[in-house]
């Protein structure tokens, strides 16, 4: 009867792997990755400030810019407004203060809304404006607005404080107004009040050194509803 002779096999898969490449040149471990020869791997070069030409910088335009003061959490803005004793006034008191105490009404609505109707003597500096830039980030924001059927998306006006300073003295008494008004008063449904454009504007004014800032409770919607004086512009 014929006898069968056993043939020894490699003790592990790693031994088999080495036998397969035994006829190939030998490389040190630093030249391989996960047992894959280096000539199978594409080379990759990391760009850094040292490898870039002078004056050239890489910028990802689709990345959201850093948070601005206007984008701060409402809770923080509200606490700061209360700390600085920013007081809300109703529309009739605002009219009286404007007539008798030379208070300035700062209307922060878009210019088009301001021209349709506004309190006599009010000064307009819009806190938000139509999106102007065309970076990848701005295009993405336009698309997001368009998704909700809004084709005139807005962004924070970076020249808001600069424009206010060119029109209103730092010592002036200012009543900030927008359409809805918002409120700092807590309610059962809104324990921290309701943020609005005028409250955001008031926050920015106080941050930038305006000490006599007031807020129009109920907004210009209530002003017009009460049939208080208003003017239009062509």
The residues assigned a catalytic role are: 178
Residue 110, CA atoms < 13 Å, CB-side half-sphere: 11
H-helix segments, the chain: 13-20, 74-83, 91-101, 111-116, 136-147, 160-167, 197-207, 219-225
- SS3 of residue 166 by DSSP: helix
Cα separation of 81 and 183, whole Å?
11
- Nearest CA to 175 among 126, 111, 114, 103? 103
Polymer length in residues for the chain:
234
Cα separation of 28 and 202, whole Å?
66
**Residue 216 pairs with which residues in a beta bridge?**
89
CA distance between the termini of the chain: 116
């Amino acid at each position: 009867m014929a006898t069968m002779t056993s043939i020894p096999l490699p003790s592990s898969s790693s031994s088999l792997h080495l036998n397969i490449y035994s006829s190939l040149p030998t490389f040190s471990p630093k030249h391989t990755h996960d047992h894959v020869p280096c000539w199978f791997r594409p080379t990759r070069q990391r760009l850094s400030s040292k490898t870039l030409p002078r004056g050239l910088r890489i910028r990802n335009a689709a990345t959201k810019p850093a948070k601005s003061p206007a984008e701060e959490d409402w809770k923080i803005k509200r606490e700061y407004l209360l700390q600085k004793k920013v007081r809300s006034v109703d529309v009739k008191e605002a009219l009286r203060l404007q007539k008798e105490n030379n208070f300035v009404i700062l209307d922060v609505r878009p210019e088009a809304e301001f021209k349709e109707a506004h309190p006599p003597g009010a000064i307009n500096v819009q806190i938000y404006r139509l999106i102007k830039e065309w970076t990848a980030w701005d295009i993405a924001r336009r698309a997001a607005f368009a998704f909700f059927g809004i084709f005139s998306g807005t962004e924070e006006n970076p020249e808001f404080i600069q424009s206010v300073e060119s029109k209103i003295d730092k010592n002036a008494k200012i009543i900030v107004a927008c359409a809805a008004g918002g409120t700092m008063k807590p309610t059962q449904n809104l324990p921290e009040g309701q943020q609005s454009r005028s409250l955001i504007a008031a926050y920015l004014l106080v941050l930038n050194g305006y000490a006599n800032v007031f807020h129009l409770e109920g907004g210009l919607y209530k002003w017009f509803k009460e049939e208080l004086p208003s003017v239009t512009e062509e």
